[in-house]
Structure 1
Amino acid sequence: MPPLNALKAFEAVARHGTLARAAEELLVTPTAVGRHVRNLEDVLQIALFERDGGALRLTVPGRRYAGTVARALGEIADATDALRDSPGRTRIAVRAYTTFLVRWLIPRLASFQARYPEIEVTLSSGHDPVDFNRERVDAAIRYGRGIWPGLVAVQLFEDELVAFGPLGSRARLEHGAPAALLGETLIIHQRRPRDWADWLAAADMTGSPARTIAFDDLALVWQAVTDGLGIGLTQRRYLAAEVKAGRLEEVSDVVLRRGTSYYLTYPADTAARPALRTFAQWMQEEAGATKA
């Protein structure tokens, strides 16, 4: 038998198409994932991927093998869940963006577990849309306009982008005057490169900022702002706890709204599952309570 870690790494790379995304899911480095894949190819004496620069494409044998490995790992996971589950308990797996988990869902999850102890929620993070036919995920958070064929989309809250900085930033920036931000270092989220341009347009501002720093993860944007490196943009709901604790603040009254929201999504053919309905209803209640 090939090493199990090598099989898991191969299946993740086959599904995501890149070492980096597979590494993010497996919580290891891309180098480690690449080493596992090469070890598996050495054991099998077969090329599973064609390598063209940094791109990876499954070979024909690799594509066949990936489907079989995915099914086998799924059966192992199913058997493990069945063995662990006690009578009367239900488990649902939820995928969400890292910052959504850290800033919104995880701080509230204890109240769900206390209210519904018979439902166990497991969490994973990721940016890409979930393939519910291949991945062991029951529900996922998605950002957009709520139209995804075959999926139930439960709206949680509208995307409201606000500029934020350490406590005292608003007073320093002429009490929230948007023009003052052009003299600041603006922290950019690389996955949403249009955010600052759209926010400045909503503030009727033209011109370029004095300096920018870019990060590929919103969690890093948060850390940079917290450490005083500059001013960032974030979903207003994520900021509430930091404002209440007196650590961060909105530095302007301008709020960017583009008609997009955060949704809990799951396949329409699983919508009758009581645990999913319960979780979706609780998520909506929590989103409504935050809005209120």
Structure 2
Amino acid sequence: MYTLLDPRNFVVFITGATSGFGAAAARRYVAAGGKVIATGRREDRLAGLQAELGADNCHVMTLDVRDRAAMEKAAADIPAPFAGINIVLANAGLALGLQPAAEADLDDWQTMIDTNISGLVYTVRLLLPGMIARGGGHVVTLGSVAGEFAYPGGSVYAASKAFVKHFALAIRSDLQGKNIRVTDIEPGLTETEFSLVRFKGDEGKAAAPYAGTMAMTAEDIAESIFWATSLPAHVNVNKIQLMATTQAIGPFDIYRDKPNG
């Protein structure tokens, strides 16, 4: 019988904490007795989260993960009560657009690359040395089923999440002997602000993927993150891939230049 880690000892640095998985994870860790450093671009959302969770439990930092200098400053400016970070949840990310590759907006592609890849590696690289110096910790990256199962219109988004998956596996090897665990969380259909962002505020388009389904919730994903980080320290979950029961892998797309028959 092994003892789970005590969440009252958790100090969790979360990117993208203004909504969705990040906000749900912040609530889950604080509810269990941990402390969180919640970061994101929307200052009003962070202020609301801090008011809800309490300043003693939730420290907030307004920043954009794409801004390397801001990330460096944030990593250096953690106040003493929150300085013992032992979980890094590199959650910030997004999808933009669903056009075929030849029609996609290059600015959208660049934003996804800057956020999903550059922002993630800044977060992990800047916070890893501190965890190593303190004797251990856990890195949680936010991938997607799209990183394994690509789909039409998802070219750069899917590629960015494939990067996340392999980055997590690679740093897992780099961290052998450092007592640092690494887990990639790979959700499928989850109803958050994800589609609203993807379709740039078009509520009709954003609602369509979830119509008639029972999609997962941000709280479902936060619970999976919490579970992986709460396991005994000698157990590393390499990845958790989750899909709604109403979602499955589709058939191969086969182009035919003439009708059958």
TM-score (norm: length of structure 1): 0.27
Higher Rg of the two aligned structures: 1
Q: Which has the higher strand share?
A: 1
